[in-house]
């Protein structure tokens, strides 16, 4: 198989070729490795390619399909995890699989390597001192988003059709938007974190993947979701497989639309233009659209979120150092990470209880908003992907709140749905010049089926698969 043919197919199409015997798993793995060799020097999305694919189940739905894991939170037995930080680099190798990693293996995904992340995942751009910046395949001078920017750049560039990602404030959806992919953040409790984590970020974090197609997202959610003994939060399972739900039309929806949320600025004109195009398409499809947004105390939300993120970073940094039998060395973390860790160490138990109270208050206000609507639509990012260096996590001038504000100034829509635990998806519905622009749909708790049904409808009405990064032609053509 030629690389340019391989790089344009989604995981479902590759799995079908494998099932029919038209291509071997080894051929696909060779394609992925050749694509990585040709592309990764430009985009810097992959920090390690393994000598052999990690073991996977031969009867899994995606048996043999090339895959990459993000270098954060997820653990694979015998594989290093750096978390994008010099604090961990080369020092931690997991003795076991995370439950989700075991499920990736059972789904048949052939893990070939691990992808970049910003330091400890707290950036909307994937740039770290340890590994350097990950560049957007659509324009190498711009960010691939974060914190799953390596995963998204690798999928968008055509190295693999799907890659592991996780999301504590937008880290699946932001890079999906920046790189022109489908990025679903499931409901709280849909996917497991065990055994090493319970409710990271006090329940704000989520695990899943980034994909090129809606059908891949639906099929993988079917393969990965479900309870696991000891998980601190579980959610009711779907009555029908998501892969079946997307094959039939959903009911006509009542959709609220907002170009700003409480406390944020309006979206950039380029994002506004894609939002208006999306509204027109939704109306043409028979959906009801109304300008509205949830109301909540923005400062209460942001103050609590800074506390939650900072306490998590402090716990991660100090806990990792202790687990490695070392003292925490502040010189091994970037300046903004250090500022957050310092703030997190000063927080009291009372302040964290207050942050949880804010989570409760905001979650109930947002849940009430969905009494009027099926979905909320916003841009995924307030601006197109910024230039490399705009979100510099090693800027010594910023304290914890200053760094938080800088991140969420350009990404003010996503973190609310981590805070509330509600599912949300970014879809690649437009362009700003050479750069993709994603639109963000959020649903009530457990509403992944509604999101995926609408996503499939929009995928047909506003097809994005015909758009590919220029790097495809320059690096993959004829390979």
Q: Crossing angle, helix 11-19 and helix 25-43, to 10 degrees? A: 150
Query: Is 116 in a helix, a strand, or coil?
Result: coil
Instruction: Write the pLDDT tens digit of every residue in 429-457.
Output: 999 999 999 999 999 999 999 999 999 99
Q: Any catalytic annotation for residue 363?
A: no
User: For residues 101 and 157, what is the distance between their CA atoms, to the nearest angstrom?
Assistant: 24
Which residues, 6 or more positions from 230, have their beta carbon under 8 angstroms from its beta carbon?
Answer: 194, 195
Cα–Cα distances in Å, from 63 out to 105, 114, 212? 9, 19, 18
Provide the 8-state DSSP code for 249.
P
Q: 337 and 313 in contact (C-beta within 8 Å)?
A: yes
Which residues are paired to 183 by β-bridges? 210, 426
What does each of the 479 residues of the chain score in pLDDT, given as a tens digit? 999 899 999 999 999 999 999 999 999 999 999 999 999 999 999 999 999 999 999 999 999 999 999 999 999 999 999 999 999 999 999 999 999 999 999 999 999 999 999 999 999 999 999 999 999 999 999 999 999 999 999 999 999 999 999 999 999 999 999 999 999 999 999 999 999 999 999 999 999 999 999 999 999 999 999 999 999 998 999 999 999 999 998 899 999 999 999 999 999 999 999 999 999 999 999 999 999 999 999 999 999 999 999 999 999 999 999 999 999 999 999 999 999 999 999 999 999 999 999 999 999 999 999 999 999 999 999 999 999 999 999 999 999 999 999 999 999 999 999 999 999 999 999 999 999 999 999 999 999 999 999 999 999 999 998 899 988 777 777 66
Provide the 8-state DSSP code for 148.
S
∠52-143-467 over CA atoms, to 5°?
80
Pairing of strands 435-442, 424-432: antiparallel
User: For residues 293 and 85, what is the distance between their CA atoms, to the nearest angstrom?
Assistant: 37
- The distance in angstroms from the start CA to the end CA of the chain is 9
The dihedrals phi and psi of 377, each to the nearest 5 degrees, come to -110, 130
∠124-177-233 over CA atoms, to 5°?
70
Q: Catalytic: which of 70, 185, 213, 264?
A: 70
Q: 462 and 278 in contact (C-beta within 8 Å)?
A: yes
Q: Any catalytic annotation for residue 70?
A: yes
Say if pTM beats, i.e. exceeds, 0.75. Answer: yes
Instruction: Write the pLDDT tens digit of every residue in 91-132.
Output: 999 999 999 999 999 999 999 999 999 999 999 999 999 999
Tokens representing residue 215 in the block: 């059908």
Q: Catalytic: which of 85, 98, 144, 147?
A: 147
Query: Is 176 in a helix, a strand, or coil?
Result: helix
Q: 148 and 195 in contact (C-beta within 8 Å)?
A: no
User: For residues 146 and 123, what is the distance between their CA atoms, to the nearest angstrom?
Assistant: 6
Query: Is 430 in a helix, a strand, or coil?
Result: strand
Q: Catalytic: which of 7, 85, 143, 171?
A: 171
User: Exposed (0-12), middle (13-18) or buried (19+): which is 411, by Cβ within 10 Å?
Assistant: buried
């Amino acid at each position: 198989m030629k690389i340019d043919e391989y790089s344009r197919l989604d995981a479902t199409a590759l799995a079908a070729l494998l099932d029919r015997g038209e291509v071997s798993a080894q051929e696909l793995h060779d394609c992925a490795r050749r694509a990585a060799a040709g592309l990764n020097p430009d985009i810097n999305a992959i920090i390690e390619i393994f000598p052999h694919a990690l073991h996977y189940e031969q009867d899994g739905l995606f048996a043999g399909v090339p895959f990459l894991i993000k270098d954060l939170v997820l653990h694979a037995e015998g594989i290093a995890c750096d978390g994008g930080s010099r604090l961990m680099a080369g020092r931690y190798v997991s003795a076991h699989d995370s439950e989700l990693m075991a499920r990736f293996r059972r789904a048949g995904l052939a893990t070939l390597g691990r992808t970049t992340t910003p330091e400890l995942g707290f950036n909307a751009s994937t740039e770290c001192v340890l590994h350097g910046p990950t560049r957007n395949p659509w324009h190498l001078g711009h960010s691939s988003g974060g914190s799953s920017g390596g995963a998204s750049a690798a999928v968008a560039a055509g190295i693999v059709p799907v890659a592991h990602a996780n999301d504590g404030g937008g880290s699946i959806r932001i890079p999906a938007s920046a790189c022109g992919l489908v990025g679903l953040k499931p409901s709280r409790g849909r996917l497991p974190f065990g055994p090493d984590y319970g409710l990271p970020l006090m329940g704000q974090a989520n695990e899943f993947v980034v994909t090129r197609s809606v059908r891949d997202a639906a099929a993988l959610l079917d393969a990965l979701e479900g309870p696991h003994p000891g998980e601190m939060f579980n959610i009711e399972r779907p009555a029908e497989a998501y892969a079946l739900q997307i094959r039939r039309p959903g009911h006509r929806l009542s959709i609220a639309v907002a170009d700003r949320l409480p406390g944020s600025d309006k979206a950039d004109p380029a994002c506004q233009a894609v939002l208006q195009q999306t509204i027109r398409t939704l109306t043409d499809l028979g959906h009801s659209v109304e300008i509205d947004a949830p109301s909540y105390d923005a400062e209460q939300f942001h103050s609590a979120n800074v506390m939650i993120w900072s306490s998590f970073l402090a716990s991660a940094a100090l806990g990792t150092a202790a687990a490695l039998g070392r003292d925490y060395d502040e010189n091994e973390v970037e300046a903004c990470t250090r500022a957050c860790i310092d703030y997190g160490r000063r927080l009291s138990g009372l302040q964290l209880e207050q942050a949880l109270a804010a989570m409760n208050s905001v979650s109930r206000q947002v849940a009430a908003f969905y009494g009027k609507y099926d979905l909320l639509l916003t841009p995924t990012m307030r601006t197109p992907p910024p230039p490399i260096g705009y979100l510099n996590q090693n800027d010594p001038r910023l304290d914890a709140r200053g760094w938080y504000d800088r991140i969420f100034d350009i990404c003010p829509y996503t973190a609310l749905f981590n805070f509330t635990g509600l599912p949300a998806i970014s879809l690649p519905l437009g362009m700003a010049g050479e750069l993709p622009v994603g639109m963000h749909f959020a649903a009530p708790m457990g509403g992944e089926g509604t999101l995926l049904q609408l996503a499939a409808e929009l995928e047909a009405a506003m097809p994005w698969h015909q758009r590919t990064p220029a790097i495809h032609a320059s690096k993959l053509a004829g390979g």
